[in-house]
Structure 1
Amino acid sequence: MSNPSISIAGRRIGVDEPPYVIAELSANHNGKLETALRIIEEAKKAGADAIKLQTYTADTITLNSDAEEFQIRGGLWDGKTLYQLYQEAHMPWEWHKPLFEHAHKLDITIFSSPFDNTAVDLLESLNAPAYKIASFEVVDLPLIKYVASTGKPMIISTGMADAEEIAEAIEAAHEGGCKELAVLHCVSGYPAPAEDYNLRTILDMAQRFGLVTGLSDHTLDNTTAITSVALGASIIEKHFTLDRRGGGPDDSFSLEPQELVELCRNSRVAWSALGRVDYGRKSSEQGNAKFRRSLYFVKDLKKGDLITADAIRSVRPGFGLAPKELDKIIGRRIRKDVCGNTPVTNEAIGLD
């Protein structure tokens, strides 16, 4: 049975391909189109496969209310209302076209997370090659079905969702017509501590749902993301900024350019190191095989002498018989004269 895979803009994604690294631009434009354009450039330089946007306005994602349930208490965004946060963080819709054009010019894939049907319509007008469902929207099954109706590949983040809710989202995607689907294990903390990630869940998700599986990582460094590759993560998504001290809503838990370079490089090294089951001698070992241990005579012997334990030792290099033959050799008669510091050979001792 072949491993599941999807394809985004011609790039195949699955466990038998290098990890697909998504740089999440999110709110890190900090209100400047020029900053958003530079983030795309730096993501391309770093080696990311894709840059991802978020497509919403404050009015499409929440209500303009000061009621208590709309207040943010604690954390990075303490004291703001949801409307204030999203008014500050949103990507202006008129920026989408120049951002898509810039990404195309740089030859880096660009797509987005839509947060309502009008966002999907905008992204369809720009021929987005794929869609991402954010963790907070995983319970919005009508939105998932609408995205699925585009026929484009879909990636669903699963932060805060239990197994039943993930299964419902997957079912909605399939019912809507999605043929290429991936799920990301995620912890929706900003930032999230590594110990909350329970990365073994990736193994279970892949087995349970039979889909391409990856990681949306909100930890502060690359350790968790790179470790996830060893557990089968085929997609890695990380927030990306030019400067973690930029003061924007998402800057403080985002990777800076050199860190993204390291993530792209090291996650692919980790994937390459996984390889396949192989007990054979590797090419890099060939030259050293001669330095393995083998049996050597450690004193001169004349033809017919009894071979005693003090006449042979297991030493490096490896030009003599294997050490496992030692018990068969002790007590035999030597067949020809031998000198000390020479390898024990079958010609000299006559093993059957």
Structure 2
Amino acid sequence: MAKDFKINGRPVGPDQPPYVVAEMSGNHNGEIGRALALIDAARAAGADAVKIQTYRADTITIDHDGPEFVIEKGLWAGRRLFELYEEAHTPWEWHEELFAHARKIGITLFSAPFDPTAVALLQGLDCPAYKIASPEIVDIDLIERCARTGKPLIISTGMASFEEIEEAVAAARGAGAEEILVLHCISGYPTPFDQANLATIPDLAERLDVAIGLSDHTMDTVVAEAAVAMGAVLVEKHFTLRRADGGVDSAFSLEPEELAVLVRNLRAVFDARGKPNYRPTDAEKEMLAMRRSLYVVADVAAGEVLTEAHVRSIRPANGLPPKYLSQVLGKRATRALRRGEPLAGDMVQGFAD
């Protein structure tokens, strides 16, 4: 598994609380004030980081009216790619202020670059990590450029075959990336629960020998919570100030209060997951006395044969374990026994555990 994976100094891995990334995407709605407010809201909700996307409409597509440049189905049906990305992009002239604000208030900000010029811009701002968005997993040149920066690299896998994922990870490693984290992702907006396929998380961890997280586009928090139970070390979720304000991604984004609930629940799930354990926990120790054990339930004279009328398995647990009942019945008492005494081995002639 990737060793010492860190984002801006924060360790991310199986032994660490899940790293929570609040994805701003286009939910700034074209207003830098709203973008800054989103960063504030993410920090207040307890997220570890905010992620933005660094592209321009003309670096991710071209201004064209052809049918292949128009989205046919789904949330953005009928939208031209160029117009959608023009609306959704985070203006490059905002980036310096956004990074400075995040540093000032104490939350990590990083980005997903979509072309070489975006990587250059982010390098100039000392972006602490890079994400390869799901559609870009086939852009090996972009992956290699990000890997060569030496920054931690997160690769999202929506729509990808295992062979494509494997090729992307190999390209990153070949270009010098030492810290790689792969996100299981379903690029459905929103993603139905029955297509989340969380069983992919431990499978990817075993196949790739890297840490695995989740980029979640479902309409709730339960899938992300289940993912952490299954070993996800990072969860990315879109968020907005208010879904009612609209925006390109608002329909499948969490509001700040919901993001806070997600953060709390993910950390509770991590704590609850724990490690394999077959000994009483601290919370259980006081209940050990409520186990059953062998007790004298009727007075017995010295030398009298013990029967089921004299000895039973009852609570509490101060006597011999119940498994010895068959070994004491039919034997004689070494002394007079009183009702309510816990039965001990030296009270029974010839008893040997």
Deviation at 1:345, TM superposition (A): 1.8
Please give the alpha-carbon distance, in whole angstroms, between the structure 1 residues aligned to 2:166 and 2:3.
17
Look up the equivalent residue of 2:113 and give its one-letter code. P
Aligned sequence identity (%)? 51
Structure 2: state its 5+ residue gaps.
none
Deviates more, 1:2-11 or 1:260-269: 2-11
Secondary structure at 2:202's aligned position in 1?
A: helix
Please give the alpha-carbon distance, in whole angstroms, between the structure 2 residues aligned to 1:180 and 1:346.
60
Deviation at 1:246, TM superposition (A): 1.9
TM-score (norm 2): 0.97
Please give the alpha-carbon distance, in whole angstroms, between the structure 1 residues aligned to 2:30 and 2:122.
20
Which residue of structure 1 lines up, in the alignment, with residue 45 of structure 2?
46
Which residue of structure 1 lines up, in the alignment, with residue 178 of structure 2?
179
Please give the alpha-carbon distance, in whole angstroms, between the structure 2 residues aligned to 1:287 and 1:143.
58
Please give the alpha-carbon distance, in whole angstroms, between the structure 1 residues aligned to 2:307 and 2:174.
78
Q: Confirm or deny: 8 A CA contact 1:5 1:211 kept in the other structure.
A: no
Which residue of structure 1 lines up, in the alignment, with residue 330 of structure 2?
331
1:103 aligns with 2:106: no
1:140-173 Cα deviation digits (max 9, x unpaired): 1111111112111100000000011111111221
Please give the alpha-carbon distance, in whole angstroms, between the structure 1 residues aligned to 2:50 and 2:328.
67
Please give the alpha-carbon distance, in whole angstroms, between the structure 2 residues aligned to 1:5 and 1:226.
24
Look up the equivalent residue of 2:78 and give its one-letter code. G
1:135 aligns with 2:134: yes
Q: Confirm or deny: 8 A CA contact 1:242 1:256 kept in the other structure.
A: yes
Deviates more, 1:319-328 or 1:307-316: 307-316
Deviates more, 1:154-163 or 1:31-40: 31-40
Are the structure 2 counterparts of residues 137 and 3 from structure 1 closer, same or farther at C-alpha, using a change threshold of 3 Å? closer
Please give the alpha-carbon distance, in whole angstroms, between the structure 2 residues aligned to 1:246 and 1:187.
25
Which residue of structure 1 lines up, in the alignment, with residue 286 of structure 2?
287
Which residue of structure 2 lines up, in the alignment, with residue 148 of structure 1?
147
Which residue of structure 2 lines up, in the alignment, with residue 253 of structure 1?
252
Q: Confirm or deny: 8 A CA contact 1:50 1:110 kept in the other structure.
A: yes
Deviates more, 1:257-266 or 1:188-197: 257-266
Please give the alpha-carbon distance, in whole angstroms, between the structure 2 residues aligned to 1:253 and 1:349.
70
TM-score (norm 1): 0.97
Which residue of structure 1 lines up, in the alignment, with residue 232 of structure 2?
233
Which residue of structure 1 lines up, in the alignment, with residue 187 of structure 2?
188
Secondary structure at 1:310's aligned position in 2?
A: coil
Q: Confirm or deny: 8 A CA contact 1:72 1:80 kept in the other structure.
A: yes
Deviation at 1:310, TM superposition (A): 2.0
1:222-256 Cα deviation digits (max 9, x unpaired): 11111111222111111011112221010110111
1:201-212 maps to which residues of 2 (within 5 A)? 201-212=200-211
Q: Confirm or deny: 8 A CA contact 1:22 1:50 kept in the other structure.
A: yes
Which residue of structure 1 lines up, in the alignment, with residue 304 of structure 2?
305
Q: Confirm or deny: 8 A CA contact 1:5 1:212 kept in the other structure.
A: no
1:70 aligns with 2:69: yes
Are the structure 2 counterparts of residues 10 and 28 from structure 1 closer, same or farther at C-alpha, using a change threshold of 3 Å? same
Please give the alpha-carbon distance, in whole angstroms, between the structure 2 residues aligned to 1:3 and 1:93.
32
Secondary structure at 2:76's aligned position in 1?
A: coil
Look up the equivalent residue of 1:277 and give its one-letter code. P
Deviation at 1:347, TM superposition (A): 2.9
